[in-house]
Amino acid sequence: MENLSSSPLTSGLNPFGGLCFPRGTALISNALLNKGTGYSERELDALGLRGLLPPRIFTMEEQVERALLNFRRKTDPLEKYIFLTTLQNRNETLFYRVVMDHADEMIPIIYTPTVGQACLEYGAIFRSPRGLFITIREKGRIAEILRHWPVADVRMIVVTDGERILGLGDLGALGMGIPIGKLSLYSACAGLHPSYCLPITLDVGTDNASLHKDPLYIGLNQKRVRGAEYDEFIEEFVTAVQAAYPKALLQWEDFGNSNAFRLLQNYRSRICSFNDDIQGTAAVALAGIMAAMRLNGGRLEEQKLLFLGAGEAGTGIADLYVAAAVAGGLSEREARARCWFVDSQGLVVRGRPGKLAHHKEPYAHDRAPLATLAEAVEAVRPTALIGVSGQPRTFTPEIIARMAQFNPRPIIFALSNPTSKAECTAEEAYRHSSGRAIFASGSPFPAVEFDGRTFVPGQGNNVYIFPGVGLGALFCESAQVTNGMFLTAARTLAGLVTAEDLAMGRVYPALTRIREVSLKIATAVAHEAYDAGLARVPRPADFEAAVRACMFEPVYRDYV
């Protein structure tokens, strides 16, 4: 079985196309191979570096200290983001060492919540290209463009068309910050070697009128292409990826509702792929609910879920909840009856004026329409209130207090990203429930002091799920990524929440344990793939040891 921790770039091949290992400025310009001031005396002479670098040689530990010093001097999160992306573009090994050793400090910068602001300002802060921009103008030439990427053995692609970036809407080509950030987390959190990773933005235009007027916008200045032309473009893209990178996993990211469900359904059996907004979000939310059962003493099958927002995230969570509840003994009909939705038109019910989107139909129940979330809370009396709407402060003090009247320990998950879009803050959830809420959020919130207790809110971040799922699927070269794998991932994550976590009110493990979490999930997902007959390489004797051996560690290699 191949070792995914190794890099095809350190096998003696020059990524720029030659047969020799790069030397001199070509070497120190290659972020995947560059060591900065960390080359040995022998390497300085053998690789033509003498005089191109300062004379003092620094250990990686000393380089990390210098990077942290400069990072912490910056007070603005966006400036910290720019610093880290510049470091990544200069020295990837050092970048990943810094991120891994200080995960709880770095992940909120390279991903949520700061990545949202970075995407909004991506044109203004653009420094150097990373990944591939494939536009609708290149329709008919996608295979050619993929060949421009310098690495032939790509294993993980995160692709977006920028239509629904976090809770920020249509950002077009500015959405490239999301695939870059997700792939950084694959390497930092699950140990996939960065050389295997390729971020891609499919630029089909944008319907965001403000971007059409922005002189710094980096994408196509046109309205979005839709319909048959869009579908042909996606089909060409998937076909080209399969031909160029036959071992690659494709992660669909931040596509609009009108395309996300359809693309997942069309391609999930044709190419190893998944949609993190639908399936990853579902798994991390379900894991939080499972962990919450240890705090409120309930059973998963007894919960009644009310969602604010009926898009990819909400219906994805409901679908996975249904699968878990069915496994727990309910019929599918009974499980669906425990999931209710409020969208922009009010409570999702049968017979409501207007046509329901296809993905909402299974959760349209027989009852009178209601216009507001407050009315729905009163009528449904849910045990869990889950926000995936992108509408800030919609979990009002009155709604939170009412949830606490219905439930001794109400589950309140404000999962919308970034922080500015959260349905409520951690402080609001605890205060208005008299400290009884089981709270989680999509973006991080600080600890809350209330009534003599310190609550440490959990972050229901997909980073707990997708890196491990991806690594597990790649480890065994699974033909597909199934819903069963995400249910397995959710159960595994919930099982990793400790008694100490729960005592603080946290229903997720600390981010400092993210490599352990990813390892356990990858191992469980690989087991699932083998049991389902989807794995395409021999089954190892010791799963966890074999997966661990595949995980990239950011340490400098000796080149001579």
Dump the DSSP string for 208-259. Answer: -HHHHT-TT--S--SPPP-HHHHHHHHHHHHHHHHHH-TT-EEEE-S--HHH
Q: What is the largest CA-CA distance in the chain?
A: 79
Instruction: Please pick, among 111, 217, 267, 556, the residue that the annotation labels catalytic.
Output: 111
257/387 Cα distance (integer angstroms): 17
Could you tell me if residue 353 is left (phi over 0), alpha (psi between -120 and 50 degrees) or otherwise beta? beta
Copy the structure tokens of residue 312: 């990819």
Q: Which is it for strands 384-387 and 411-414: parallel, antiparallel or unpaired?
A: parallel
Instruction: Please pick, among 35, 80, 182, 520, the residue that the annotation labels catalytic.
Output: 182
- The partner residues of 412 in beta bridges, in order of sequence, read 385, 439
CA dist 319 to 142, 312, 362, 371, 521, Å? 34, 10, 9, 24, 20
Copy the structure tokens of residue 454: 């310190």
Dump the DSSP string for 323-346. Answer: HHHHHTT--HHHHHTTEEEEETTE
Contact 194, 6 (CB under 8 A): no
Q: Which is it for strands 305-308 and 339-343: parallel, antiparallel or unpaired?
A: parallel
Residues 6+ apart with CB under 8 A from 394: 308, 373, 387, 423, 424
Copy the structure tokens of residue 250: 């494709």
116/459 Cα distance (integer angstroms): 16
**Is the C-alpha dihedral spanning 353, 359, 360, 364 positive or negative?**
positive
Residues 6+ apart with CB under 8 A from 386: 285, 305, 306, 307, 308, 314, 317, 411, 413, 415
182 counts as catalytic = yes
Q: Which is it for strands 156-160 and 197-203: parallel, antiparallel or unpaired?
A: parallel
223 counts as catalytic = no
CA dist 522 to 151, 249, 279, 476, 544, Å? 25, 14, 15, 10, 8
Coil, strand, or helix at residue 284?
A: helix
Which residues are known catalytic residues? 111, 182
